[in-house]
Chain A
Amino acid sequence: MWRLEPRSDAPLIWQFATPVLAVLATMLTGAVLFGLMGYDPFGAIRTIFWDPLFGASAGYSRPQLLVKAGPLILIACGLAVGFRAGIWNIGAEGQFIIGGITGAAVGLAAYPAEGWWIFPAMIVAGAAGGWAWGMIPALLRNWFGASEILVSLMLVYVAEKIAAWMAFGPMRNPEGFGMPGSRNLTQYPSAANPELIAGTGIHWGTIAALIAVVAVWVLISRHLRGLQIRAAGEAPRAARFGGVKPSALVAFCLGLSGALAGLAGLFEAAGPAGQITDGFGVGYGFTAIIVAFLGRLHPVGIVLGGLLMALTYIGGDIAQMMMQLPSATVQVFQGMMLFYLLGFDLLTRYRIRRRPA
């Protein structure tokens, strides 16, 4: 018989090893799955995980890596702070959408004026929109004790409906021949979020993501608020005795993750997406949850996790084109990776010992 013995520490080696193991197990399971579905298993895995970086069309797909990883990292950084404190914002997708809408609204309102102040104003509006959308579950939890998990998730659906309404109603491009969707912001220089260095995929969102990574690292490891967050997550009672106000923490964490998700939404709306459409939310907010866990809720890990998830997105697109693999394959991979990670995590928290007979 075997038994589990809780570890008092989480050994560094396992903290690094479990995400790697999870990725390998996902590849293996994926290969089996593809084999069963009648695809070439090794070809499919290579197409998803290798070709985007080193394949024939890598010149095109490599910049895409940063385009996709940027929003994931930006959102996941905010989520990780809350998750560490045991505050579960799972509605980042909604905050992303609202941030995109409020940010784009400022740009569309200024149209066709040109000016240096327009894009910064959009950034502020995007962050404020996401912050406000994140504060709804925070306040409802603080005032009434409503679960932030369920409220933030419900607000994703509400945000999706608002995006659809905007695309068909108030924000519809007056020169769009009746097509749904706003004006394309990339064709409006003062509001556009262009590629900054040609061929790299770096836009202002990537820069913001890097700043967020450093800021969150400082917050968590060097700041008093970070200590409170870690304490609240690991020993809630002790944290309360230590003078941490739970309601202030809830507002801080949901506000921060909302603002970062809103920023990601704005950069997306003004850059890669270009406009607010019916389907503006493409799931970055949900994938970012996986990124946060894959990165062990640590900023540096999140960068790696974000790049990996971006890789699967791009690889999935290539596999769809080259091998006619369904686009949903990537979603399955991402879910599977999180399952494996959560399972292997046992090794970080427990020691497996043989039970004396």
Chain B
Amino acid sequence: MIDPVSVFLMLLSAATPLLFAALGELIVERSGVLNLGVEGMMITGALAGFAAADATGNPLIGFAVAAIAGCAISMIFGVLTQFLLANQVATGLALALFGLGLTALFGKPYEGVKAPSMALGPLRIHWIVWLGLAMVPLIWWFLQRSRAGLILRGIGENHHAAHALGHKVHLYRLAAIGFGGAMAGIGGAYISIATVLQWTEGMTAGAGWIALALVVFSGWRAFGVLAGAWLFGGVTVLQLRLQAAGIAVPVQLLAMAPYLATIIALVVISARRKGSAAPGSLGKIFHATS
């Protein structure tokens, strides 16, 4: 007998890393920047957060450090794309590869170490899960109702027009990239500190890429990201349940489910929308001529 409440709690937990990373990337993409390095920032957060939680014994400090680390590594991308005007696709890719390498290098001493236990918040749910849920309306409000959010969206839609109005395109984008890095870092730390409870090399296993797909899936809207994250959380839980139930399908094939679901979701959404919901300046280099 499967208890629906516990299944929902598992779903919430499985959705949390994706929710954080995708909400961060949502802000980045709304500012007109495509940062493909989410995977690299998540894994950096996963290791830095785990190390800090292990050193202090306090998981919440771990999450704070993860946010700082994710933000710090995102600045490599920020400086390269905003000031050195590098290609965003290539730089994002480099960030993903670099983050995976860097954490493999510095993560060795933490292999086999157990994460400190974490006090649960209300309703037996981690505080971080609550924070993630709270971020959804906050980000919606920021994008749709605040002045800074309006400017950010304007820059994402048409950076030349925003520049002509006197807005600092590169600074807004740099801030957005930093925020995206911090959110990805927290998402990654949730995997190492709260879910797996230890550090292993490459443990984010593509969550960063799934988060990127989620942003497309959401139609660049905060509540769309939440819906997508829950959908993928659901697929993950279902797949784990089927594995546990000993269904007659090889484990390796079941483990494909989240990736195949991502592809299917991308296809369905792209077919319906034909990409028209994407910010107008997404991925384009901005260089002020005057």
Listed in ascending order, the chain A residues whose CB lies under 8 Å from chain B are 4, 6, 88, 90, 140, 143-147, 149-151, 153-155, 157-158, 161-162, 164-165, 168-169, 286, 289-290, 293, 326-336, 338-339, 342-343, 345-346, 349-350
B133 at the interface (CB under 8 A from A): no
Identify A145's interface contact among B80, B104, B274, CB under 8 A.
Answer: B274
Counting chain B CB atoms within 10 Å of each CB, the highest count among A155, A328, A333 belongs to A328
| B101 close to A334 (CB less than 8 A) | yes
| B101 close to A157 (CB less than 8 A) | no
Q: Quick one: closest B residue to A286, CB to CB?
A: B97
Interface bin, chain B: 35 or more
| A339 close to B91 (CB less than 8 A) | yes
| B259 close to A154 (CB less than 8 A) | yes
For chain B, what secondary structure do more than half of its interface residues adopt (helix, strand, loop), or is it mixed?
A: helix
* Chain A residues with CB under 8 A of B104: 326-328, 331
| B100 close to A331 (CB less than 8 A) | yes
In the complex, what's the smallest C-beta–C-beta distance from B159 to chain A, in angstroms?
Answer: 16
B85 at the interface (CB under 8 A from A): yes
| A140 close to B89 (CB less than 8 A) | no
Q: A339-B80, A339-B94 are in contact. Are A150 and B216 (CB under 8 A)?
A: yes
Complex CA–CA separation, A162 to B260 (angstroms): 12
Listed in ascending order, the chain B residues whose CB lies under 8 Å from chain A are 36, 76, 80, 84-87, 89-91, 93-95, 97-102, 104-105, 108, 201, 205-206, 209-210, 212-213, 216, 250, 252-253, 255-256, 259-260, 262-263, 266-268, 270-271, 273-275, 287
Q: List 22 A-B contacts (CB under 8 A).
A: A140-B263, A140-B267, A145-B270, A147-B270, A150-B209, A150-B213, A150-B266, A154-B206, A154-B260, A154-B262, A161-B252, A161-B253, A169-B252, A293-B90, A329-B101, A331-B98, A332-B105, A335-B101, A338-B98, A342-B87, A343-B84, A349-B85
For chain A, what secondary structure do more than half of its interface residues adopt (helix, strand, loop), or is it mixed?
A: helix
Complex CA–CA separation, A329 to B148 (angstroms): 41
In the complex, what's the smallest C-beta–C-beta distance from B72 to chain A, in angstroms?
Answer: 14
Instruction: Rank and list the top 10 A-B pairs by shortest CB-CB distance, nearest first.
Output: A331-B101, A335-B98, A328-B104, A165-B252, A342-B86, A144-B271, A338-B94, A332-B101, A328-B105, A145-B270
| A335 close to B102 (CB less than 8 A) | yes
In the complex, what's the smallest C-beta–C-beta distance from A42 to chain B, in angstroms?
Answer: 19
* Chain A residues with CB under 8 A of B205: 157
Q: Quick one: closest B residue to A154, CB to CB?
A: B259
| B287 close to A6 (CB less than 8 A) | yes
| B250 close to A158 (CB less than 8 A) | no
* Chain B residues with CB under 8 A of A150: 209, 212-213, 216, 262, 266
| B206 close to A157 (CB less than 8 A) | yes
Q: A326-B108, A339-B76 are in contact. Are A4 and B287 (CB under 8 A)?
A: yes
Counting chain A CB atoms within 10 Å of each CB, the highest count among B80, B99, B105, B201 belongs to B105
| A338 close to B97 (CB less than 8 A) | yes
In the complex, what's the smallest C-beta–C-beta distance from B250 to chain A, in angstroms?
Answer: 5
Complex CA–CA separation, A342 to B287 (angstroms): 16
Instruction: Please give 16 more A-B residue pairs, beta carbons under 8 A apart, in addition to A150-B213, A333-B101, A342-B80.
Output: A88-B89, A146-B266, A146-B267, A151-B263, A151-B266, A151-B267, A161-B255, A169-B252, A289-B93, A290-B97, A331-B100, A331-B105, A334-B97, A334-B101, A339-B94, A342-B84
Q: A162-B252, A165-B252 are in contact. Are A342 and B274 (CB under 8 A)?
A: no
In the complex, what's the smallest C-beta–C-beta distance from A328 to chain B, in angstroms?
Answer: 3
Q: A157-B206, A161-B255, A168-B250 are in contact. Are A342 and B94 (CB under 8 A)?
A: yes
* Chain A residues with CB under 8 A of B253: 161, 165
